[in-house]
Structure 1
Amino acid sequence: MRAYRLFVLTGTLALALWAASCNGDNDPGPGGTSDAGVDGGSLPRPDGGGTDGGGSQDFACNVARQEGCAEGQSCHFADLADGGTGSRCFEAECDVVAQDCAEGQRCTYATEDGVTRRRCVAPGTVGEGAPCTLAPSEGGLAYDTCQQGLFCRQAPEGQGSGFTCQRLCHATTQCGNSGECNTVLRLEGTDELPLLCGPPSPSCNPFGQDCTAPLSCYPSSSGPVCAGSGTRTEGQSCEFSNQCTPGSACVNAGGGLTCRALCQPGGEPACSSGSCRALDGNPGVGACVP
Protein backbone atom coordinates (compact mmCIF):
# COMPACT_ATOMS: atom_id res chain seq x y z
CA MET A 1 0.00 0.00 0.00
CA ARG A 2 1.54 3.31 -1.03
CA ALA A 3 0.04 6.46 0.40
CA TYR A 4 0.09 9.77 -1.46
CA ARG A 5 -0.27 13.03 0.40
CA LEU A 6 -0.67 16.17 -1.68
CA PHE A 7 -1.27 19.83 -0.83
CA VAL A 8 -1.80 22.89 -3.02
CA LEU A 9 -2.55 26.57 -2.62
CA THR A 10 -4.45 27.74 -5.69
CA GLY A 11 -4.82 31.25 -6.99
CA THR A 12 -8.48 31.60 -6.03
CA LEU A 13 -9.46 28.45 -4.14
CA ALA A 14 -7.52 26.48 -1.56
CA LEU A 15 -7.48 22.78 -2.37
CA ALA A 16 -6.21 19.85 -0.30
CA LEU A 17 -6.03 16.18 -1.22
CA TRP A 18 -5.30 12.90 0.55
CA ALA A 19 -4.80 10.07 -1.93
CA ALA A 20 -4.04 6.39 -1.38
CA SER A 21 -2.98 3.90 -4.03
CA CYS A 22 -2.68 0.20 -3.17
CA ASN A 23 0.07 -1.79 -4.84
CA GLY A 24 0.63 -4.64 -2.41
CA ASP A 25 3.81 -3.08 -0.99
CA ASN A 26 3.18 -3.84 2.66
CA ASP A 27 6.35 -5.65 3.70
CA PRO A 28 8.13 -4.21 6.73
CA GLY A 29 11.50 -2.65 6.04
CA PRO A 30 14.82 -3.57 7.65
CA GLY A 31 14.09 -1.14 10.46
CA GLY A 32 10.67 -2.62 11.20
CA THR A 33 8.70 -0.29 8.93
CA SER A 34 5.86 -0.70 6.50
CA ASP A 35 4.65 1.66 3.77
CA ALA A 36 0.94 1.63 4.49
CA GLY A 37 -1.88 3.97 3.56
CA VAL A 38 -4.08 5.64 6.14
CA ASP A 39 -7.80 6.02 5.43
CA GLY A 40 -8.69 9.55 6.37
CA GLY A 41 -7.31 13.07 6.24
CA SER A 42 -3.70 13.90 6.85
CA LEU A 43 -2.79 17.32 5.51
CA PRO A 44 -2.62 20.65 7.35
CA ARG A 45 -4.88 23.53 6.53
CA PRO A 46 -3.68 25.79 3.68
CA ASP A 47 -3.22 28.56 6.25
CA GLY A 48 -1.10 26.29 8.47
CA GLY A 49 -3.67 26.27 11.25
CA GLY A 50 -5.07 23.36 13.18
CA THR A 51 -8.79 23.77 12.62
CA ASP A 52 -11.10 23.13 9.69
CA GLY A 53 -13.78 25.69 10.38
CA GLY A 54 -15.76 23.15 12.41
CA GLY A 55 -13.60 23.28 15.52
CA SER A 56 -11.30 20.33 14.71
CA GLN A 57 -7.88 20.40 16.36
CA ASP A 58 -6.55 17.43 14.38
CA PHE A 59 -3.82 19.50 12.69
CA ALA A 60 -1.71 21.12 15.37
CA CYS A 61 1.07 22.18 12.97
CA ASN A 62 2.03 22.41 9.29
CA VAL A 63 4.21 19.51 8.09
CA ALA A 64 5.17 20.94 4.69
CA ARG A 65 6.22 24.32 6.11
CA GLN A 66 7.41 22.99 9.49
CA GLU A 67 5.42 25.69 11.24
CA GLY A 68 3.55 25.73 14.53
CA CYS A 69 6.03 23.88 16.78
CA ALA A 70 8.31 25.09 19.55
CA GLU A 71 12.09 25.08 19.35
CA GLY A 72 13.45 21.55 19.51
CA GLN A 73 10.27 20.11 17.99
CA SER A 74 9.31 19.21 14.43
CA CYS A 75 5.91 18.64 12.84
CA HIS A 76 4.90 15.19 11.62
CA PHE A 77 1.71 13.42 10.67
CA ALA A 78 0.32 11.03 13.29
CA ASP A 79 -2.61 8.67 13.74
CA LEU A 80 -5.51 9.96 15.83
CA ALA A 81 -7.55 8.09 18.41
CA ASP A 82 -10.63 8.19 16.16
CA GLY A 83 -8.80 6.38 13.35
CA GLY A 84 -8.08 9.50 11.29
CA THR A 85 -4.77 11.22 10.74
CA GLY A 86 -3.60 14.65 11.87
CA SER A 87 -0.34 16.44 12.63
CA ARG A 88 1.51 16.86 15.92
CA CYS A 89 4.68 18.42 17.27
CA PHE A 90 7.28 15.84 18.36
CA GLU A 91 10.44 16.48 20.33
CA ALA A 92 13.68 14.85 19.15
CA GLU A 93 17.37 15.56 19.08
CA CYS A 94 17.41 16.17 15.30
CA ASP A 95 15.40 16.51 12.09
CA VAL A 96 15.74 13.81 9.40
CA VAL A 97 15.23 16.32 6.57
CA ALA A 98 17.21 19.29 7.93
CA GLN A 99 20.01 16.91 8.98
CA ASP A 100 20.99 19.20 11.86
CA CYS A 101 23.27 16.80 13.76
CA ALA A 102 26.87 17.67 14.53
CA GLU A 103 29.33 17.42 11.66
CA GLY A 104 30.11 13.83 10.79
CA GLN A 105 26.78 12.48 12.04
CA ARG A 106 23.45 11.65 10.46
CA CYS A 107 19.88 12.08 11.75
CA THR A 108 17.72 9.01 11.20
CA TYR A 109 15.12 6.83 12.84
CA ALA A 110 16.85 4.37 15.17
CA THR A 111 15.25 1.66 17.29
CA GLU A 112 16.36 0.52 20.74
CA ASP A 113 14.42 -1.69 23.17
CA GLY A 114 11.30 -1.40 21.04
CA VAL A 115 11.33 2.41 20.95
CA THR A 116 12.01 4.28 17.70
CA ARG A 117 13.11 7.91 17.71
CA ARG A 118 15.14 10.35 15.68
CA ARG A 119 18.76 10.18 16.74
CA CYS A 120 22.17 11.36 15.60
CA VAL A 121 24.23 8.34 14.55
CA ALA A 122 27.18 7.54 12.33
CA PRO A 123 26.29 8.18 8.66
CA GLY A 124 25.86 5.26 6.28
CA THR A 125 27.55 4.83 2.92
CA VAL A 126 24.67 3.76 0.66
CA GLY A 127 23.36 6.36 -1.79
CA GLU A 128 19.85 7.08 -3.01
CA GLY A 129 18.29 4.20 -4.94
CA ALA A 130 20.99 1.70 -3.97
CA PRO A 131 20.36 -1.53 -1.97
CA CYS A 132 20.52 -1.12 1.81
CA THR A 133 20.39 -3.18 4.99
CA LEU A 134 20.58 -2.69 8.73
CA ALA A 135 23.92 -1.27 9.85
CA PRO A 136 26.17 -3.28 12.19
CA SER A 137 25.54 -1.87 15.65
CA GLU A 138 26.48 -2.29 19.26
CA GLY A 139 24.30 -2.09 22.35
CA GLY A 140 21.05 -2.99 20.59
CA LEU A 141 20.66 0.27 18.59
CA ALA A 142 19.29 -0.51 15.10
CA TYR A 143 19.36 1.75 12.04
CA ASP A 144 20.09 1.37 8.34
CA THR A 145 23.13 1.82 6.08
CA CYS A 146 21.85 4.83 4.09
CA GLN A 147 23.55 8.21 3.72
CA GLN A 148 22.24 11.42 5.28
CA GLY A 149 18.65 12.31 4.41
CA LEU A 150 17.79 8.80 3.20
CA PHE A 151 15.88 5.87 4.68
CA CYS A 152 15.88 2.17 3.79
CA ARG A 153 12.56 0.74 2.63
CA GLN A 154 11.17 -1.52 -0.07
CA ALA A 155 11.88 -0.16 -3.54
CA PRO A 156 8.94 1.64 -5.22
CA GLU A 157 7.10 -0.24 -7.95
CA GLY A 158 9.05 -0.14 -11.22
CA GLN A 159 12.26 0.96 -9.48
CA GLY A 160 13.93 -2.35 -8.69
CA SER A 161 13.34 -4.90 -5.97
CA GLY A 162 14.35 -5.42 -2.37
CA PHE A 163 15.18 -2.52 -0.05
CA THR A 164 16.73 0.71 -1.30
CA CYS A 165 17.66 4.09 0.19
CA GLN A 166 14.96 6.69 -0.48
CA ARG A 167 14.81 10.39 0.31
CA LEU A 168 13.02 11.67 3.42
CA CYS A 169 10.97 14.84 3.03
CA HIS A 170 8.47 17.22 4.56
CA ALA A 171 7.40 18.73 1.21
CA THR A 172 7.72 17.94 -2.52
CA THR A 173 10.12 20.88 -3.03
CA GLN A 174 12.70 18.83 -1.09
CA CYS A 175 12.46 15.86 -3.48
CA GLY A 176 14.17 17.40 -6.53
CA ASN A 177 14.25 14.68 -9.19
CA SER A 178 13.07 12.05 -6.70
CA GLY A 179 9.34 12.49 -7.35
CA GLU A 180 6.74 13.81 -4.93
CA CYS A 181 6.71 13.88 -1.11
CA ASN A 182 3.85 11.40 -0.99
CA THR A 183 4.90 8.11 0.64
CA VAL A 184 4.01 7.46 4.26
CA LEU A 185 6.18 5.31 6.54
CA ARG A 186 4.82 3.46 9.55
CA LEU A 187 7.61 2.71 11.99
CA GLU A 188 7.21 0.38 14.93
CA GLY A 189 7.88 2.09 18.24
CA THR A 190 6.85 5.65 17.31
CA ASP A 191 3.66 7.61 16.62
CA GLU A 192 5.37 9.71 13.96
CA LEU A 193 4.41 9.14 10.32
CA PRO A 194 7.40 10.43 8.34
CA LEU A 195 7.27 11.00 4.58
CA LEU A 196 9.45 9.83 1.70
CA CYS A 197 9.74 10.98 -1.90
CA GLY A 198 7.89 8.61 -4.22
CA PRO A 199 6.75 8.27 -7.84
CA PRO A 200 4.23 10.86 -9.08
CA SER A 201 0.59 9.91 -8.69
CA PRO A 202 -1.21 8.62 -11.83
CA SER A 203 -3.27 11.18 -13.76
CA CYS A 204 -6.97 10.82 -14.64
CA ASN A 205 -10.12 12.64 -15.81
CA PRO A 206 -12.09 14.10 -12.87
CA PHE A 207 -15.23 14.24 -15.02
CA GLY A 208 -14.85 10.81 -16.61
CA GLN A 209 -13.94 9.00 -13.37
CA ASP A 210 -11.59 6.63 -15.20
CA CYS A 211 -9.74 5.34 -12.12
CA THR A 212 -9.72 1.68 -11.19
CA ALA A 213 -12.28 0.94 -8.46
CA PRO A 214 -12.35 1.67 -5.57
CA LEU A 215 -10.32 4.78 -6.47
CA SER A 216 -11.84 7.96 -7.95
CA CYS A 217 -10.38 11.01 -9.68
CA TYR A 218 -9.70 14.19 -7.67
CA PRO A 219 -7.81 17.45 -8.42
CA SER A 220 -4.30 17.83 -6.94
CA SER A 221 -1.32 20.19 -7.11
CA SER A 222 0.06 18.33 -10.14
CA GLY A 223 -3.28 17.80 -11.86
CA PRO A 224 -6.05 15.24 -11.29
CA VAL A 225 -4.97 11.93 -9.72
CA CYS A 226 -6.62 8.68 -8.62
CA ALA A 227 -7.39 8.54 -4.90
CA GLY A 228 -9.51 6.65 -2.39
CA SER A 229 -13.15 7.78 -2.55
CA GLY A 230 -14.93 9.78 0.15
CA THR A 231 -18.56 10.11 1.21
CA ARG A 232 -18.98 13.72 2.39
CA THR A 233 -21.51 15.71 0.40
CA GLU A 234 -21.96 19.27 -0.83
CA GLY A 235 -21.31 21.85 1.88
CA GLN A 236 -19.97 19.43 4.50
CA SER A 237 -16.68 20.31 6.19
CA CYS A 238 -13.54 18.49 5.05
CA GLU A 239 -9.77 18.49 5.23
CA PHE A 240 -9.04 16.68 1.92
CA SER A 241 -10.71 16.46 -1.45
CA ASN A 242 -11.18 12.73 -1.39
CA GLN A 243 -13.11 12.88 1.85
CA CYS A 244 -15.76 14.25 -0.54
CA THR A 245 -17.86 12.16 -2.92
CA PRO A 246 -16.44 11.59 -6.45
CA GLY A 247 -17.06 14.57 -8.68
CA SER A 248 -16.35 17.09 -5.92
CA ALA A 249 -13.38 18.58 -4.07
CA CYS A 250 -12.47 20.12 -0.73
CA VAL A 251 -12.02 23.86 -1.29
CA ASN A 252 -11.84 27.05 0.73
CA ALA A 253 -13.82 29.84 -0.86
CA GLY A 254 -14.07 31.69 2.45
CA GLY A 255 -15.56 30.42 5.67
CA GLY A 256 -13.55 27.22 5.90
CA LEU A 257 -12.95 24.06 3.88
CA THR A 258 -16.07 22.42 2.46
CA CYS A 259 -16.94 19.88 -0.26
CA ARG A 260 -17.96 21.54 -3.51
CA ALA A 261 -19.03 20.06 -6.84
CA LEU A 262 -16.51 20.07 -9.69
CA CYS A 263 -17.32 21.99 -12.85
CA GLN A 264 -15.74 23.00 -16.14
CA PRO A 265 -15.29 26.79 -16.47
CA GLY A 266 -17.26 27.90 -19.53
CA GLY A 267 -18.37 24.35 -20.32
CA GLU A 268 -20.02 21.19 -19.04
CA PRO A 269 -20.61 20.13 -16.36
CA ALA A 270 -21.83 23.52 -15.22
CA CYS A 271 -22.87 24.54 -11.72
CA SER A 272 -26.49 24.06 -10.67
CA SER A 273 -25.93 26.91 -8.20
CA GLY A 274 -23.14 29.35 -7.46
CA SER A 275 -20.28 30.07 -9.84
CA CYS A 276 -17.55 27.90 -11.35
CA ARG A 277 -14.11 29.05 -10.21
CA ALA A 278 -10.96 27.54 -11.72
CA LEU A 279 -8.54 25.42 -9.67
CA ASP A 280 -4.91 26.29 -10.44
CA GLY A 281 -2.79 23.39 -11.66
CA ASN A 282 -5.88 21.61 -13.01
CA PRO A 283 -6.63 23.00 -16.51
CA GLY A 284 -10.32 22.94 -17.35
CA VAL A 285 -11.33 21.99 -13.81
CA GLY A 286 -13.14 24.25 -11.37
CA ALA A 287 -15.34 24.08 -8.27
CA CYS A 288 -18.84 25.44 -7.74
CA VAL A 289 -18.77 28.02 -4.95
CA PRO A 290 -21.55 30.20 -3.48
Structure 2
Amino acid sequence: PGTDFACNVARQEGCPSGQSCHFADLEDGGTGSRCFAAECDVVRQDCPQGQRCTYVGQGGATQRRCVEAGTAEEGAPCTLAANDGGLTYDTCQQGLFCKDEPVDGGTGFFCRRLCHATSECGEQGECNTVLRLEGTAELPLVCGPPSRQCDPFGEDCTAPLSCYPSTSGPVCAGTGTRREGEACDFSNQCTPGSACVDTGGGLTCRPLCRPGGTPACATGTCRTVGNNPGVGACVPS
Protein backbone atom coordinates (compact mmCIF):
# COMPACT_ATOMS: atom_id res chain seq x y z
CA PRO A 1 0.00 0.00 0.00
CA GLY A 2 2.95 2.35 0.46
CA THR A 3 3.14 3.12 -3.27
CA ASP A 4 -0.33 4.69 -3.09
CA PHE A 5 0.86 7.28 -0.58
CA ALA A 6 2.75 9.94 -2.52
CA CYS A 7 3.20 12.30 0.44
CA ASN A 8 2.86 12.42 4.23
CA VAL A 9 -0.33 14.10 5.43
CA ALA A 10 0.54 14.40 9.12
CA ARG A 11 3.96 15.94 8.47
CA GLN A 12 2.96 17.74 5.25
CA GLU A 13 6.02 16.32 3.52
CA GLY A 14 6.62 15.40 -0.09
CA CYS A 15 4.75 18.16 -1.96
CA PRO A 16 6.10 21.06 -4.03
CA SER A 17 5.75 24.61 -2.77
CA GLY A 18 2.19 25.87 -3.10
CA GLN A 19 0.66 22.40 -2.70
CA SER A 20 -0.52 20.48 0.35
CA CYS A 21 -0.80 16.77 1.06
CA HIS A 22 -4.22 15.18 1.53
CA PHE A 23 -5.62 11.69 1.62
CA ALA A 24 -7.50 10.85 -1.58
CA ASP A 25 -9.66 8.21 -3.23
CA LEU A 26 -7.62 6.70 -6.07
CA GLU A 27 -8.78 5.72 -9.55
CA ASP A 28 -8.29 2.01 -8.78
CA GLY A 29 -10.77 2.24 -5.91
CA GLY A 30 -8.13 2.34 -3.18
CA THR A 31 -7.12 5.15 -0.87
CA GLY A 32 -3.79 6.96 -0.73
CA SER A 33 -2.35 10.45 -0.46
CA ARG A 34 -1.67 13.02 -3.15
CA CYS A 35 -0.43 16.60 -3.50
CA PHE A 36 -3.11 19.15 -4.35
CA ALA A 37 -2.78 22.78 -5.37
CA ALA A 38 -5.40 25.22 -4.08
CA GLU A 39 -5.95 28.83 -3.16
CA CYS A 40 -5.24 28.18 0.53
CA ASP A 41 -4.67 25.59 3.27
CA VAL A 42 -7.51 24.75 5.67
CA VAL A 43 -5.13 24.08 8.58
CA ARG A 44 -2.55 26.84 8.07
CA GLN A 45 -5.38 29.30 7.41
CA ASP A 46 -3.27 31.46 5.11
CA CYS A 47 -6.07 33.67 3.73
CA PRO A 48 -6.11 37.48 4.01
CA GLN A 49 -7.15 38.90 7.37
CA GLY A 50 -10.85 38.55 8.08
CA GLN A 51 -11.24 35.54 5.79
CA ARG A 52 -10.87 31.83 6.31
CA CYS A 53 -9.88 28.88 4.16
CA THR A 54 -12.55 26.22 3.83
CA TYR A 55 -14.12 23.83 1.34
CA VAL A 56 -16.48 25.75 -0.94
CA GLY A 57 -18.95 24.23 -3.37
CA GLN A 58 -19.84 25.79 -6.70
CA GLY A 59 -21.42 24.17 -9.74
CA GLY A 60 -20.86 20.62 -8.51
CA ALA A 61 -17.17 21.15 -7.71
CA THR A 62 -15.65 21.64 -4.26
CA GLN A 63 -12.40 23.56 -3.75
CA ARG A 64 -10.41 25.12 -0.94
CA ARG A 65 -11.05 28.84 -1.15
CA CYS A 66 -10.81 32.01 0.94
CA VAL A 67 -14.24 33.22 2.05
CA GLU A 68 -15.76 35.28 4.84
CA ALA A 69 -15.28 33.68 8.26
CA GLY A 70 -18.35 32.30 10.01
CA THR A 71 -19.38 32.82 13.62
CA ALA A 72 -20.13 29.29 14.94
CA GLU A 73 -17.52 28.11 17.46
CA GLU A 74 -15.91 24.67 17.76
CA GLY A 75 -18.55 22.15 18.86
CA ALA A 76 -21.43 24.52 18.12
CA PRO A 77 -24.29 23.70 15.71
CA CYS A 78 -23.77 24.95 12.16
CA THR A 79 -25.41 25.08 8.75
CA LEU A 80 -24.31 24.77 5.13
CA ALA A 81 -25.98 27.02 2.58
CA ALA A 82 -25.38 28.81 -0.72
CA ASN A 83 -24.82 32.57 -0.68
CA ASP A 84 -25.98 35.10 -3.26
CA GLY A 85 -22.98 34.35 -5.49
CA GLY A 86 -23.78 30.65 -5.75
CA LEU A 87 -20.96 29.60 -3.40
CA THR A 88 -21.84 26.99 -0.77
CA TYR A 89 -19.97 26.93 2.53
CA ASP A 90 -20.73 26.62 6.24
CA THR A 91 -21.18 29.02 9.13
CA CYS A 92 -18.18 27.87 11.20
CA GLN A 93 -15.30 30.03 12.37
CA GLN A 94 -11.80 29.94 10.88
CA GLY A 95 -10.18 26.49 10.97
CA LEU A 96 -13.46 24.61 11.52
CA PHE A 97 -15.77 22.60 9.28
CA CYS A 98 -19.45 21.74 9.63
CA LYS A 99 -19.63 17.96 10.02
CA ASP A 100 -22.70 15.73 10.15
CA GLU A 101 -23.01 13.48 13.22
CA PRO A 102 -25.69 11.14 14.59
CA VAL A 103 -27.86 12.76 17.29
CA ASP A 104 -30.76 11.03 19.09
CA GLY A 105 -31.67 8.85 16.12
CA GLY A 106 -31.25 11.71 13.65
CA THR A 107 -28.44 13.81 12.22
CA GLY A 108 -26.94 17.02 13.59
CA PHE A 109 -24.27 19.35 12.21
CA PHE A 110 -21.44 20.67 14.38
CA CYS A 111 -18.23 22.64 13.83
CA ARG A 112 -15.15 20.41 14.15
CA ARG A 113 -11.50 21.41 13.85
CA LEU A 114 -9.75 20.68 10.56
CA CYS A 115 -6.36 19.03 10.97
CA HIS A 116 -3.44 17.34 9.29
CA ALA A 117 -2.02 15.80 12.51
CA THR A 118 -3.15 14.98 16.06
CA SER A 119 -0.87 17.68 17.49
CA GLU A 120 -3.37 20.20 16.09
CA CYS A 121 -6.30 18.74 18.04
CA GLY A 122 -5.41 19.61 21.63
CA GLU A 123 -5.39 17.18 24.55
CA GLN A 124 -8.86 15.66 24.14
CA GLY A 125 -8.89 14.59 20.50
CA GLU A 126 -7.04 13.01 17.62
CA CYS A 127 -6.84 13.83 13.91
CA ASN A 128 -8.70 10.68 12.92
CA THR A 129 -12.02 11.56 11.29
CA VAL A 130 -12.16 11.48 7.49
CA LEU A 131 -14.52 13.73 5.51
CA ARG A 132 -15.81 12.67 2.11
CA LEU A 133 -17.08 15.73 0.28
CA GLU A 134 -18.86 15.80 -3.06
CA GLY A 135 -16.95 17.41 -5.90
CA THR A 136 -13.38 16.85 -4.69
CA ALA A 137 -10.91 13.96 -4.58
CA GLU A 138 -9.43 15.31 -1.35
CA LEU A 139 -10.29 13.52 1.90
CA PRO A 140 -9.73 16.16 4.60
CA LEU A 141 -9.48 15.29 8.28
CA VAL A 142 -11.12 16.77 11.37
CA CYS A 143 -10.40 16.17 15.04
CA GLY A 144 -12.43 13.41 16.66
CA PRO A 145 -12.49 11.41 19.91
CA PRO A 146 -9.38 9.36 20.75
CA SER A 147 -8.96 6.39 18.41
CA ARG A 148 -9.95 2.92 19.50
CA GLN A 149 -7.24 0.32 19.75
CA CYS A 150 -6.68 -1.86 16.69
CA ASP A 151 -4.67 -4.81 15.38
CA PRO A 152 -1.37 -3.67 13.81
CA PHE A 153 -1.23 -6.98 11.93
CA GLY A 154 -4.75 -6.62 10.56
CA GLU A 155 -6.77 -4.14 8.52
CA ASP A 156 -9.38 -2.97 11.00
CA CYS A 157 -8.87 0.78 10.60
CA THR A 158 -11.02 2.78 8.20
CA ALA A 159 -9.05 3.87 5.12
CA PRO A 160 -7.05 6.05 4.78
CA LEU A 161 -6.01 5.34 8.39
CA SER A 162 -3.76 2.41 9.36
CA CYS A 163 -2.94 0.70 12.66
CA TYR A 164 0.35 1.62 14.35
CA PRO A 165 1.94 0.94 17.75
CA SER A 166 1.85 3.97 20.04
CA THR A 167 2.83 4.80 23.61
CA SER A 168 -0.72 3.87 24.66
CA GLY A 169 -1.03 0.73 22.52
CA PRO A 170 -1.98 0.24 18.85
CA VAL A 171 -4.21 2.99 17.41
CA CYS A 172 -5.63 4.00 14.04
CA ALA A 173 -3.63 6.92 12.62
CA GLY A 174 -2.86 8.65 9.34
CA THR A 175 -0.84 6.45 6.99
CA GLY A 176 2.84 7.24 6.43
CA THR A 177 5.12 6.79 3.43
CA ARG A 178 8.60 6.12 4.81
CA ARG A 179 10.02 2.70 4.04
CA GLU A 180 12.16 0.23 5.95
CA GLY A 181 15.41 1.79 7.11
CA GLU A 182 14.35 5.41 6.57
CA ALA A 183 14.67 7.89 9.43
CA CYS A 184 11.48 8.77 11.34
CA ASP A 185 10.12 10.50 14.43
CA PHE A 186 6.75 8.71 14.77
CA SER A 187 5.49 5.27 13.72
CA ASN A 188 2.78 6.62 11.45
CA GLN A 189 5.42 8.29 9.31
CA CYS A 190 6.23 4.72 8.23
CA THR A 191 4.30 2.57 5.77
CA PRO A 192 1.64 0.26 7.29
CA GLY A 193 3.04 -2.88 8.90
CA SER A 194 6.05 -1.10 10.34
CA ALA A 195 7.01 1.06 13.31
CA CYS A 196 9.50 3.79 14.18
CA VAL A 197 12.03 2.31 16.61
CA ASP A 198 15.54 3.01 17.87
CA THR A 199 17.93 0.58 16.22
CA GLY A 200 21.02 1.94 17.96
CA GLY A 201 21.87 4.42 15.25
CA GLY A 202 18.75 6.56 15.57
CA LEU A 203 15.03 6.12 14.92
CA THR A 204 14.18 4.24 11.71
CA CYS A 205 11.17 2.46 10.21
CA ARG A 206 11.31 -1.30 10.82
CA PRO A 207 8.89 -4.14 9.91
CA LEU A 208 6.48 -5.38 12.57
CA CYS A 209 6.70 -8.93 13.93
CA ARG A 210 5.25 -11.08 16.71
CA PRO A 211 7.84 -12.01 19.35
CA GLY A 212 8.04 -15.81 19.22
CA GLY A 213 5.28 -16.02 16.62
CA THR A 214 4.13 -15.09 13.12
CA PRO A 215 4.95 -12.91 11.29
CA ALA A 216 8.61 -13.48 12.06
CA CYS A 217 11.56 -11.39 10.90
CA ALA A 218 13.14 -12.21 7.55
CA THR A 219 16.36 -10.77 8.97
CA GLY A 220 17.36 -9.42 12.36
CA THR A 221 15.69 -9.89 15.74
CA CYS A 222 12.08 -9.35 16.78
CA ARG A 223 12.24 -6.84 19.64
CA THR A 224 9.11 -6.03 21.67
CA VAL A 225 7.65 -2.55 21.18
CA GLY A 226 6.96 -1.04 24.61
CA ASN A 227 3.32 -0.73 25.76
CA ASN A 228 2.20 -2.90 22.82
CA PRO A 229 1.84 -6.50 24.08
CA GLY A 230 2.46 -9.12 21.40
CA VAL A 231 3.88 -6.55 18.99
CA GLY A 232 7.53 -6.32 18.00
CA ALA A 233 9.75 -4.74 15.39
CA CYS A 234 12.55 -6.36 13.40
CA VAL A 235 15.85 -4.74 14.32
CA PRO A 236 19.33 -5.61 13.03
CA SER A 237 21.01 -8.32 15.11
TM-score for the superposition, normalised by structure 1: 0.60
CA distance in 1, matches of 2:55, 2:227: 35
| Structure that is richer in strand per residue | 2
Residue identity matched to 1:127: E
Q: Percent identity?
A: 64
How big is the shift at 1:114?
0.4
* Match among 88, 104, 108 for residue 50 of structure 2: 104
The corresponding residue for 2:192 is: 240
Say if 2:127 is the partner of 1:151.
Answer: no
Hey, what does 1:164 align to over in structure 2? 110
Who is 1:95 aligned against? Answer: 41
Structure 1 position 72, deviation (Å):
1.7
Cα gap change, 1:108/1:278 in structure 2, threshold over 3 Å: closer, same or farther? same
Q: Structure 1, residues 19-50: CA drift from partner, whole Å, max 9, x if none?
A: xxxxxxxxxxxxxxxxxxxxxx5xxxxxxxxx
TM-aligned CA deviation for residue 192 of structure 1: 0.6
**How much does 1:280 deviate?**
4.9
- Tell me which moved more, 140-149 or 59-68: 59-68
Matched, 1:75 2:75: no
Deviations 1:244-280 (A, max 9, x none): xxxxxx35789x97864322xxxx6598665221325
Task: Report which structure shows greater RCO (CA 8 Å, sep ≥6).
Answer: 1
| Unaligned ranges ≥5, structure 2 | 157-162, 174-189
- 3-state SS in 2 of match to 1:155: strand
State how many pairs are aligned. 205
**Among residues 192, 205, 209, which one is paired with 1:261 in the alignment?**
209
The alpha-carbon deviation at position 147 of structure 1 amounts to: 0.5
In structure 1, give the amino acid aligned to 2:191.
E
Equivalent residue for 2:75?
Answer: 129
Q: Distance in 2 between matches of 1:272 and 1:181?
A: 31
**Counterpart position of 1:276:** 222
In structure 2, C-alpha distance between the alignment counterparts of 1:204 and 1:75, rounded to whole Å = 25
1:66: Cα distance to partner?
1.2
Q: What secondary structure sits across from 2:90 in the alignment?
A: coil
1:185 aligns with 2:131: yes
Match for residue 180 of structure 2?
none
Q: Secondary structure at the match of 1:173?
A: helix
Give 1:122 shift.
0.5
| Whole-angstrom CA distance in 1 between matches of 2:117 and 2:76 | 22
Question: What 5-or-longer segments of structure 1 have no aligned partner?
Answer: 1-40, 42-51, 212-217, 228-237, 242-249
Distance 2:214 2:29 in 1: 36
Aligned-partner Cα distance in 1 for 2:130–2:206: 25
**Secondary structure of residue in 1 paired with 2:36:** strand
